[in-house]
Amino acid sequence: MYINPSYFIFMIPGLLLMLWAQSRVQGAYKKYGAIPNTLGLTGAQTAHQVLQTAGLGNLPIKEIPGDLTDHYDPRDKTLSLSQGVYSRASIAAMAVAAHESGHAMQDATGYTPLKFRSAIVPAVGFGSNVGYIVLIGGLLLQQPTVAWIGVGLFALATVFTLVTLPVEFNASTRAKDALRRAGLVTVDEARGVDDMLNAAAWTYVASFASSLMTLLYYISLVGGMSGRRR
């Protein structure tokens, strides 16, 4: 399909950043997953304590399969923790559990970027599927207007990865504060939690950068086509 040298110029930096961020988060997860926390709290217990302090003690916490599949779903108000987090009493488990609890706190306090992100999810799903078809159609039929609509639809995905940044950074800030205030971590452990959550934050930066570069590539394709027609 539309593969030319500039495709690689736009795609490779984002891809490399993604791979680097992934390996960093996996490295941090492995490192801090092997260090037990002083209080011997599992991820589930950590989440429960953090949530209780925030007045969300009755929120369901369930165990799900996989590695780093942890998430909070605002639709069913449930905290899902992966096996390695739910029942292990490591620094990594504590960090991840507190981070997901941070999302639950965002939801409970009506944190605007989270509300905005949830609101655009259906449009993003539609945009990234249909946008690509519209874009290719516009390019094949040499219709710049159609192709620009495709670019616009695809841009929704980039907006999503952008608004994910404050949501994720804020959840980690809430996690660190909550662990410190509840006295669940020592100074050294807090540093480990920071390290783990900072590594995770880079994966979201990489997703945004990669999505932005893809968008710029599409813009350059359609811009080039519009230029040629004039």
Active site amino acids: 100
Tell me the two tokens of residue 196.
Answer: 């783990």
Tokens 């639950």 sit at which residue?
Answer: 104
Minimum CB distance to Zn ion, residue 140 (Å): 39
Minimum CB distance to Zn ion, residue 168 (Å): 5
In the complex with Zn ion, the residue whose CB is nearer, 46 or 131, is 46
Give 42's contacts (C-beta < 8 A, 6+ positions apart): 86, 87, 88, 89, 93
In the complex with Zn ion, the residue whose CB is nearer, 174 or 217, is 174
The Cα–Cα gap between 84 and 44 comes to 10
Minimum CB distance to Zn ion, residue 70 (Å): 8
Question: How many chain residues interact with Zn ion (CB under 5 A)?
Answer: 2
Minimum CB distance to Zn ion, residue 204 (Å): 8
DSSP conformational letter for 63: E
In the complex with Zn ion, the residue whose CB is nearer, 79 or 184, is 79
Tell me the two tokens of residue 15.
Answer: 């891809």
Q: Looking at 12-20, 21-29, 161-169, 180-188, which segment touches Zn ion (CB under 5 A)?
A: 161-169
Q: Looking at 2-10, 74-82, 137-145, 164-172, which segment touches Zn ion (CB under 5 A)?
A: 164-172
The Cα–Cα gap between 93 and 70 comes to 10
In the complex with Zn ion, the residue whose CB is nearer, 59 or 171, is 171
Reduced to 3 states, what is the DSSP secondary structure of residue 71? strand
The Cα–Cα gap between 79 and 184 comes to 19
Residues in the chain: 230
DSSP conformational letter for 27: H
In the complex with Zn ion, the residue whose CB is nearer, 170 or 220, is 170
Tell me the two tokens of residue 129.
Answer: 């599927």
Tell me the two tokens of residue 125.
Answer: 């799903």
Minimum CB distance to Zn ion, residue 163 (Å): 13
Q: Looking at 49-57, 84-92, 169-177, 218-226, which segment touches Zn ion (CB under 5 A)?
A: 169-177
Binding mask 116-145 for Zn ion (x = CB under 5 A): ------------------------------
Applying CB under 5 A, which residues contact Zn ion? 168, 171
